[in-house]
Amino acid sequence: MASHSHHDFDAQWWERHYQDAAGGPASQPSAQLMAEVAGLAPGTALEAGCGTGADAVWLARHGWDVTAVDVSPTAVRLARTLAAPGQSEATGRISWLVADLTVWHPRQQYDLVVSQYVHPDLPFGDFVARLADAVAPGGTLLVVGHDDRPGADRHAADRPPPAASIGPDAVVRALDPEQWDVTVAEARTRPVNHGPTQLTIADVVVKARRTPAAEAR
């Protein structure tokens, strides 16, 4: 991948990305999502920046009523296709939506809001604040991203550009400590196959619970 500046990652860039990727292998559910959500009682979930939908499908299969949003119409079309075969009971619990998360206002709050590797054209703290607003009192926010520390990411052949990387502090700072109990804020490595080579890449994982008594802002 060529180098990118922040503003390159606009809706058109993502749409072209998914048009080029159409027909490629289906994405797999995220290890971080599975680890962090497995212990939660299912309810309503917002999957923000759902891409081709593997995580939305995993959530639905685990009992969540999912609203899955992405700015790329092609990603959402691919996600619907991926979700279709033989999984209608679970995928009936997914509402797919094409929307820009930098301007979209959800009509409800959710028991779980998940955003993984999404870096829209907005200061990251502002993006996290928008996600946080969509969490119902007592609900959970899970933000996963590429670790921004030098050397943390050894995915050298295709390393995410700085604009696509975050630190745990950037996420935590956006959460009002009066309203949020941060239960996870750390970098975590995972193995990734890159052709014949296995690489270790580092993710930032932040999980926080909104105080049950907090009033919706």
Ligand X SMILES: C[S@@+](CC[C@H](N)C(=O)[O-])C[C@H]1O[C@@H](n2cnc3c(N)ncnc32)[C@H](O)[C@@H]1O
Question: Among positive and negative, which fits the CA dihedral 166, 168, 170, 172?
Answer: positive
106 is a contact residue toward ligand X (CB under 6 A): no
| Residue with token string 């779980």 | 112
Rounded to whole angstroms, the Cα distance separating 147 from 162 reads 9
- Rule CB under 6 A: choose which of 57, 90, 113, 118 binds ligand X: 118
- For residue 184, the minimal CB distance to ligand X (Å) is 17
- For residue 195, the minimal CB distance to ligand X (Å) is 19
Sole window of 34-42, 59-67, 110-118, 151-159 interacting with ligand X (rule: CB under 6 A): 110-118
117 is a contact residue toward ligand X (CB under 6 A): yes
- Rule CB under 6 A: choose which of 59, 71, 202, 204 binds ligand X: 71
Rounded to whole angstroms, the Cα distance separating 82 from 122 reads 29
124 is a contact residue toward ligand X (CB under 6 A): no
- Locate all alpha helices (DSSP H) within 10-123, ordered by sequence: 11-21, 31-37, 54-61, 73-83, 88-91
How far is the first Cα of the chain from the last one, in angstroms, to the nearest whole number?
40
- Rule CB under 6 A: choose which of 56, 75, 132, 202 binds ligand X: 75
- For residue 7, the minimal CB distance to ligand X (Å) is 12
Q: Which of 35, 99, 39, 81 is nearest to 63 (CA)?
A: 39
x-or-dash string of contact with ligand X, 28-47, rule CB under 6 A: --x-----------------
- For residue 106, the minimal CB distance to ligand X (Å) is 12
Mention every residue, 6+ apart, whose C-beta is less than 8 A from residue 1. 158, 161
Binding to ligand X in span 139-198, by CB under 6 A: none
Rank residues 65 and 121 by Cβ distance to ligand X and give the closer one.
121
27 is a contact residue toward ligand X (CB under 6 A): yes
- For residue 177, the minimal CB distance to ligand X (Å) is 27
Does residue 65 sit in helix, strand or coil?
Answer: strand
With residue 132 as reference, give the H or E element that holds it: helix 124-133
101 is a contact residue toward ligand X (CB under 6 A): yes
116 is a contact residue toward ligand X (CB under 6 A): yes
